[in-house]
Amino acid sequence: MSRSPRGSTKGPGKLHFTALSDGKGGEPHARDGTRRGLDAYRGSPKLTDELLEELLTQLATGLPLDTACHVAGVWPSGVYARMKSDDEFAAMVSCARAHAQRDVFNVHKDLAYQGAKTGGTEWIMETLWPGVFPRPTKTVETTGKDGGPVKSDITITLAEAREIAED
Stretch (H or E) spanning 24: none
3-state secondary structure of 20: strand
Which CATH class, in words, describes the domain spanning 46-143? mainly alpha
Q: How do residues 79-88 score in pLDDT, each as one tens digit?
A: 999 999 999 9
Of 142, 101, 141, the closest CA to residue 124 belongs to: 101
| Average pLDDT of the residues in 128-147 | 81
Q: Identify the band that residue 21 occupies on the pLDDT scale cut at 50, 70 and 90.
A: very low
Residue ranges matching CATH 1.10.10 in the chain: 46-143
Q: Read off the pTM.
A: 0.55
- Model confidence at 45: pLDDT above 80: no
Across residues 105-109, what is the average pLDDT? Answer: 89
What are 57-67's pLDDT values in tens digits? 999 998 999 99
Is a pLDDT exceeding 50 seen at residue 6?
A: no
Res 8: pLDDT: 40
> SS3 letters for 126-142?
HHHCCCCCCCCCCCCCC
Q: What pLDDT sits at residue 29?
A: 53
Q: Tell me the pLDDT tens digit for each residue of 140-152.
A: 777 877 878 887 7
C-alpha distances (whole Å) from 40 to each of 15, 37, 78, 132 are: 9, 5, 13, 34
Q: Is the pLDDT assigned to residue 38 strictly greater than 70?
A: no
Q: Would you place residue 36 in the very low, low, confident or very high pLDDT band (cuts 50, 70, 90)? A: low
